[in-house]
Amino acid sequence: MLSFVLRRLGQSSILILIMSILVFVGMYVVSDPVAVLAGEDFTEEDRIALAEELGVNRPLVVQYLSFLKNIAQGDFGTSFVYNRPVLDLILERLPATLEVAVLAIGIGLTIGIPLGIYSGLNQRKPATKAISFTTTVGYSIPNFWQALLLILCFSVWLKWLPASGRGDTTDLFGIPVSFLNWDGLSHMLLPAINLAIYKICMQARLSRSGTQEVMYQDYMTFARAKGIGRDRLIRRHLMRNILIPIVTITGLELGGLIAFSTVTETVFSWPGIGKLLLDSIHHADRPIVVAYLILITLMFVTINFIVDVLYALLDPRIRYK
């Protein structure tokens, strides 16, 4: 176990190192922070002073090495734009994004899996055709357009839910969260639904194809033959077997949602880290972009590790190999 964890850590450090170099060089090539930050009335001397203050006048290699040195001391750098520690900025925004991502995945699983199992078990029923059609459509609608439709429908016409912002927050262990009061929750619903629609469709299709495969296995017929009730047949025999691909995809999707729900956060003006990333790229705020991507990489590595552990829990054949 320990060697497995250590190997994973070693691999991910190399991955993070390579990724940080790529982002560092990339950001250097595409934009110049001094040009973005300098005002109209800046003189050449002011510009030089600004560059010196930001530390971007040094050779790139030197900048990168001092960045590595700071990271080793737990300092991810200071934002060019906000002039505050990068880590604070990211951690401030993270709860908002996490909340929406977890809610969206939760909706996707609780609606998608039952729909998928139902349509896998009842292939000839009209409801199955309807589910299949709807999920195909839901799968293919562009995210931003779907978001606009949701706003039009629930905010403009029905006036049920607010269209933008985060609303009131409640502190939970010192972290501001929205889901504990109605105003916050109502602000959260539309972005979460917008992200969840795609997830529902995907989970439904995944669990449908899993169900179709598993239900024809000998052990399903045998379990029926030995007199097991339908409920138990589905909950224990079927679910346990279709969960493996679902866990893999869900892990990846959760990572994807946390890291890159930029479009949805932008449309709903949700103050999450996706929006922070977009703004920072725009403003050539390199420390934020680099730190952000390093944290995201770490997060993916962690999620994948958890998925691997779940695999072993779900499938004894992997556990005992």
List of residues contacting another protein (CB under 8 A): 1, 3-4, 124, 217-219, 221-229, 232, 236-237, 240-241, 312, 314-317, 319-321
The smaller minimum CB distance to another protein, of residues 232 and 282, is found at 232
> Taking the complex as a whole, how short is the minimal distance between the CB of residue 285 and another protein, in angstroms?
42
Return the H-helix or E-strand segment holding 32.
none
Residue type, 205: R
3-state SS, residue 169: coil
> Taking the complex as a whole, how short is the minimal distance between the CB of residue 250 and another protein, in angstroms?
18
The smaller minimum CB distance to another protein, of residues 176 and 245, is found at 245
d(C-alpha 289, C-alpha 287), whole Å: 6
Number of other CB atoms surrounding residue 198 within 10 Å: 20
The smaller minimum CB distance to another protein, of residues 40 and 231, is found at 231
d(C-alpha 250, C-alpha 313), whole Å: 16
d(C-alpha 196, C-alpha 158), whole Å: 20
The smaller minimum CB distance to another protein, of residues 61 and 225, is found at 225
> Taking the complex as a whole, how short is the minimal distance between the CB of residue 13 and another protein, in angstroms?
21
Note whether 168 and 178 are within 8 A (CB): yes
100 CB-near residues (< 8 Å, 6+ apart): 188, 191, 192, 195, 257, 261, 264, 265, 270, 272
> Taking the complex as a whole, how short is the minimal distance between the CB of residue 7 and another protein, in angstroms?
11
The smaller minimum CB distance to another protein, of residues 92 and 308, is found at 308
> Taking the complex as a whole, how short is the minimal distance between the CB of residue 235 and another protein, in angstroms?
11
